[in-house]
Structure 1
Amino acid sequence: MENGSGCLNGSGAADSAEKAQQQQQCPAVQLSERNREAVRVIGQYLRELGLARSAEALVLEAGCPLESGAAAQFRSSVLLGDWDGAEASLASLRRALWRESSWSEIAFRLAEQRYLELLESGAHIAALCVLRGKLTPLQFSPDRLHRLSGLIMCSGPEELRQLSGWSGAAGGTRQALLDSVEQFFPPSVMLPPKRLSVLLDQAVRAQVSRCRHHNTSLSPDQLTLLADHSCQAAASVPSVCSQVLDAHQDEVHVCQFSPNGRFLATGGRDCVAIVWLVEAAANPPGAPRVRHHLTLRIGEERGGVAWLAWSPDSRLLLACAAEEATEVIVWEAETGDCIKKLKHRDEDSLTTAAWLPDSNHFVVGGNRGHFYLCSVDVGFEKAWDFIRVVALATRREDDGGTAVLAADTFARIRRYRFDTMQDETLFREDGPVMSMSISQDETLLAVCVASAGVHLWDLRLRVCRRRLHGLTHGAYLLHASIGGPNQDFVASGSHDARVCVWHHGCQAGDGAQQHLLPDKLSGHGGLVSCVSWNPRHHGMLASASDDCTVRIWLPASLAAAALAASADGTGPGGAGFSSNGCCSSTGYNMQQRQAERRAPGLHGLSAAGAGVRCRLLDAHGLQDSYRPPGPGPAPGRAHHHRVSTEHQVGGAGARGWIAADGSPRGDARWPPPRARPPAAARQPAARLRGQRRPAPPPPKRPRLARDGGQRLQRCGPGRLPARARPRCPDDTSLG
């Protein structure tokens, strides 16, 4: 019979007779030891859910009790508040304890619960007797005993519960007492609390840890138990290029999302930093799109953008120029106003930077031995001399201060505190450090090591958690990024024109070696130097490449929906190119580009906006053409452009042709395609790949260019200056 506290152990001759009759009607099933344990665990789970009758029926039919008789009596006494009976049952269970020394702690917890319940009911004399006769002789935890003795002066139950942090006899404290006591007994005597819930949670977490594409913020409690967990790559991990941003005129070296995920900053060799606006489309929901926002120029004399850093509040953007530049520039991201230009010494080389959490202070450094703490308000404040810095990051400390993590040219990751001027070496890498990136929770650090892959370090334990291989190395810098809702993914550029993505949370198991290899995203036509995860849209990834483009990667499901919305004109930016002519059509990937190169004739795309920008493709290769609004032919263009748009020709869904003078042409009036030149006159496809714009002219006169701050090399005609390309600090090759 079930008592009022949910206990399974009834009393009385009638109940015993009824149970004996039920046992005769339902003979016990022969179960193995594993099955008997499963029955006990299931029975405990049913009892925790409040299904005591179902649990009792299970025990009767299986013929195996959930607990021993003494343990069941002890549980019943505690739940009923029979403290004398609980002490008697505990005495019979004393020999079953894991450790004999645990008996005094269990007795103290029982007496403490009894003492607090007496105080709550107003029986202060009885509570004082328990304090003197039960708690004090145990001599367990004098500090705790002292706090309990002070509670006897409480004026009422409310003050008692407030001062003690105890929720009362009706607040589930008796069950909590049982749960805390069960850990002292072996499972054969008393099951650990919530055993089945713990086993289910462990099983789900193990499946999640083996899921190669797990990229969801759902907790294990929210995942289904009806099937093994497995995330589909199409719905969770960036795998398809949804946009190609081609506003840069030269190689793109860096791309960084703002901490709020609203902006994307890109920069490279063309001496401009472009700020893009990330918009979440209403149809389909969750499919973000990128459009041009601002173009910021740093000046051609600075040799290009080497690094970009966002302030933690996503309001300011800091840019570092190439190795020979001596100043850094801070802009207002929303308006494009230049807030600060900092220059300290003429011999400085400030190529990397990181913001402090207050969004006012930041640190800058370079590989010539200059390392500064600066602020937007004051400028240069403090300096750490003779520190050759390769990469920087900041991290909050337990004491409330901020530590600066700096990778130097000696392959060390060191920790600096500008407030106390203290420093220490955290760890040393196997080779020269190219770059590093810190996770959002500031517990993981991804370090790109020359010819050694990406090393993932745990900053709390100061151990290397994973060594990620599979990317192609070379002489130039690569930047990695940590992302995903649980910071379980690492992405990096590669010299083979692909983006590498690892799920470092995958644990060892079947196919463990395969899990250490990355998923590779193809589409770029040149070296991929930098990648960045969006901290808000966890399935969004940006990559910057030498092919003068920045690609936006999304999961296949979102990318397909974004393509459909773009084709219908319902997504941000409309169909085709954006209105400012800086953003390529979604879905215009490398496979389509190669197919169009092989097809004769001219093809193109356009957008409704200020002008008509078309991709002009013929048998000789791929070119871009932009026709400004207004009548008159574009200078130097005598071609026709084929478009598919409802704004320019024939209404919705109509297909037509637009000549260079802006006059519409019907399909019948379109001139036949030009003859395909012979194979000998055509350029090889490998030469066209990634060369969407002609390379800038080489310097006319030989000059000296500093390479990595370590040596000088001569750059003559036909050779680009070494400072225009970030290189690995110890690189000594001429290539």
Structure 2
Amino acid sequence: MNIDGVDADTTPSGFSRLELVRLMVQSLQSLGYQKSANELEAESGFQLESPAVTRFRNSVLQGDWNTVETLIGDLNLDTTHELSVKFLIREQKFLELLEKRNIKDALIVLRSELTPLNQNMDRVHSLTSYMMSSSPEDLRQRANWDGVNGSSRQNLLSSLQKFISPAVMVPENRLETMLKQAVDHQIKNCFYHDNRNTSKSLYSDHICDKTGIPTVTRQVLERHTNEVWYISFSHDGKYLASASADSKIIIWNLETFQPMHTLQGHSNKVSCCAWSPNDTQLLTAGYDRTVKLWDIQTATLKSTFPHHSDVVTCLGWLPDGERFVSGSEKNLFLMATAGNLLRQWPFPVRDLAISADGQTLVAMGGTIIRMISLVDFTEVSKLEETDGITAISLSKDGQFLLVNTTLPMHREIHLWNLPEGRIVRKYSGYKQGLFVIRSCFGGWDERFVISGSEDSKVYIWHRENGNLIQTLDGHDRSVTMVAWNPTNPTMFASASDDNTVRM
């Protein structure tokens, strides 16, 4: 219908009045306003669903399987979906009979109703094995199914919904689901999202101010006498280790911002460090071609590992705290803290990362990124950039990888989706050419990407949309590395060739 150029069947925003009213009716019913829902249906002339669909829904929840099957024809399913729907219904019927220990009728359903459908025969074989269950509890455990008194029928209804047109049967809580999606989308794209802002008001759009992003230098750490090349927070966020070209490593107390220990033992520049999983030990390595293991409590050197024949560029612990990996321009080693070399890979590694579950090692050298299984030590997959890579950083969930590149015309940080093996985002604007620059994820839920730069600034981008949202001054020379506190989303550190670390 069209009245004065306006379609009466749609809202001013172009949404279907029928769909909107049906969602409103459903929402009113779920909130317990049945009388208001009935009045809205009567006034609008739109029903939430047909009487047959209502009977179908109620019959599923009541376990009236004969009625459910007679109503399948009212769902307007195509032939393929009809078979899938029948399989799911009869599967539930079978499991409920088994739960009641009605073995004879359950066997009839299995042989005469499920098997003839010729659907998902692997599942049929699994269902057959459940006949051997010793008790209802054993059945529920084997089938990973919570029984009639649990949520199994509601779960069945949700599974059936996937095969039924939403125009026939509106998905459960559809309006609330859409509202949640809208709010989540706003949060996901909020430039300055702060998890302390827990408001989910529907009255206004979700917006956070800049207070959630650390933009002010709280402290300048100035005890190094040469360029600071690497920094690493302890896992509990209470300490920071800084490694320098002055051949020293300083452990900083982040309550006082004063040195707790100065570790001296390397004979040349220190290029990297890594905290043990329990924060009691620290690995360090560098230009003297050694890896050293330190006791943090006593600040004493426990071991020196001289296996490398060239500069050691990266380190990483395995979750057991007894093994670690170290990389150089010639080799990648897996070693035990007891001193023995466990495994060797003969390819260059400039940087590496280990997934939180300890299952995967990501190793980078040249333009190649390798994923290596730490279970059987095989190469799982390999990615390649078109230009040189200086550093990588792995997300907490192990699904995404930041890659600092040195492209000829401009500098970019690439965000790789590892399972998909593709670049999904690029971050640009910072300066990188001569030196190694390291970036990382940060902020609440790792919503930001942060990097140092050769122009002495720190750059922060919105991870999701790639927009540059903050540029921070303070250092006098190149900022070579940044690190975000793992327990404090409002604190990060930056290391610079001006011999300082800024908090």
- TM-score > 0.5, shorter chain as reference: yes
* Contact 1:215–1:486 (CA under 8 A) maintained in structure 2: no
> What's 1:185 paired with?
164
Counterparts of 2:306 and 2:135 in 1: how far apart (Å)? 67
1:457/1:68 CA distance change after superposition, 3 Å: same
1:107 aligns with 2:89: no
Distance 1:224 1:526 in 2: 45
Q: Which residue of the other structure, out of 47, 59, 62, is the alignment partner of 1:65?
A: 47
Residue matched to 2:207: 230
Q: Using the alignment, how far apart are the partners of 2:134 and 2:333 within structure 1?
A: 60
1:244 Cα deviation from its structure 2 partner: 1.4
Shift of 1:204: 1.6
Please state whether the residue corresponding to 2:445 is helix, strand or coil: coil
* Residue in structure 1 matched with residue 284 of structure 2 by the alignment: 319
Q: Deviations over 1:349-380 (max 9, x none)?
A: 2233222332222222333x243332221244
Taking the TM superposition and a 5 Å limit, the aligned residue runs for 1:159-170 are 159-170=138-149
Letter in 2 for 1:550: V
Question: Matches of 1:181 and 1:418 in 2, distance apart?
Answer: 40
Aligned-pair identity in percent equals 35
Structure 1 pair 161–50 and aligned structure 2 pair: CA distance change class (3 A): farther
Q: Which amino acid aligns with 1:332?
A: D
**Tell me, what secondary structure is at the counterpart of 1:230?**
coil
| 1:293 counterpart = 2:260 | yes
1:547 Cα deviation (Å)?
A: 2.5
| 1:545 is the counterpart of 2:496 | yes
User: In the alignment, what sits opposite 2:218?
Assistant: 242
Alignment CA distance shift 1:164-1:521 (3 Å): same
User: Are the counterparts in 1 of residues 364 and 370 from structure 2 also a CA contact under 8 Å?
Assistant: yes
Report the secondary structure of 1:383's partner residue.
strand
Over residues 513-547 of structure 1, what are the superposed CA-to-partner deviations in whole Å (9 max), with x where a residue is unaligned?
A: xx533511112222211111111111110011233
AA partner of residue 306 (structure 1): S
The AA in structure 2 aligned to 1:176 is: N
- Whether the 8 Å CA contact 1:433–1:448 is kept in 2: the answer is yes
One-letter amino acid matched to 2:344:
A
Contact 1:274 1:294 in 2 (8 A): yes
Secondary structure of the structure 1 residue equivalent to 2:71: helix
Aligned-partner Cα distance in 2 for 1:195–1:314: 47
1:252-294 residue CA offsets vs partner (Å, 9 max, x unmatched): 2221112232220112233221101233xxxxxxxxx633211
**Distance in 1 separating the partners of 2:473 and 2:66:** 73
Give, as a single letter, the amino acid of the residue that structure 1 aligns with 2:350: V
Unmatched segments (≥5 aa) in structure 2: 1-7
Q: What's the offset of the Cα at 1:83?
A: 3.1
The one-letter amino acid of 1:375's match is A
Q: Tell me the number of residue pairs that the alignment of Structure 1 and Structure 2 aligns.
A: 489
1:482 lines up with 2:482 in the alignment = no
Give RMSD over aligned pairs: 3.0
1:152 offset after TM fit, Å? 5.8
C-alpha distance in 2 between matches for 1:528 and 1:92? 67
In 1, Cα distance between the equivalents of 2:379 and 2:154?
50
2:303 is matched with which residue? 340
Instruction: Name the aligned partner's letter for residue 38 of structure 1.
Output: L
Partner of 2:324: 362
Q: Shift in Å at residue 162 of structure 1?
A: 4.2
Gap regions ≥5 residues in structure 1:
1-29, 280-288, 507-514, 553-735
Amino acid at match of 1:74: F
Distance 1:195 1:135 in 2: 31
Q: How does 1:441-456 map to 2 (within 5 A)?
A: 441-451=397-407, 452-456=411-415
Match of 1:503?
A: 462
**C-alpha contact (below 8 Å) 1:527/1:546 kept by paired residues:** yes
Give the greater-gyration-radius structure (CA).
Answer: 1
Is the contact made by 1:217 and 1:485 (CA closer than 8 Å) also made in structure 2? no
**Are the structure 2 counterparts of residues 58 and 383 from structure 1 closer, same or farther at C-alpha, using a change threshold of 3 Å?**
same
Structure 2 distance, partners of 1:89, 1:355, is 59
| Aligned position for 1:89 | 71
What is the TM-score when the length of structure 2 is the normalising length?
A: 0.87
Aligned to 1:680: none
* Aligned twin of 1:433: 389
Residues 442 and 187 of structure 1: is their aligned pair in 2 closer, same or farther, counting only changes over 3 Å? closer
Residue 175 of structure 1 aligns to a residue whose secondary structure is helix
Query: CA–CA distance in 2 between the matches of 1:77 and 1:252?
Result: 69
| Distance in 2 (alpha carbons) for counterparts of 1:122 and 1:181 | 26
1:439–1:312 Cα change, 3 Å: farther
TM-score of the aligned structures, taking structure 1 as reference length? 0.61
Aligned position for 1:205: 184
Pair 294,52 (structure 1): closer, same or farther in 2 beyond 3 Å: same
State which drifts further: 516-525 or 121-130: 121-130
Deviation at 1:154, TM superposition (A): 5.8
CA change 1:172–1:528 in 2 (3 A) is closer
SS in 1 for 2:464: coil
**Corresponding residue of 1:392:** 352
Match of 2:119 among 140, 145, 149: 140
Label 1:328 to 1:517 Cα distance change in 2 as closer, same or farther (>3 A): same
Deviation at 1:133, TM superposition (A): 4.8
Q: 1:86: Cα distance to partner?
A: 2.5
What is the aligned partner in structure 1 of residue 3 from structure 2?
none
Give the match for residue 5 of structure 2.
Answer: none
Match of 1:305 among 240, 251, 270: 270
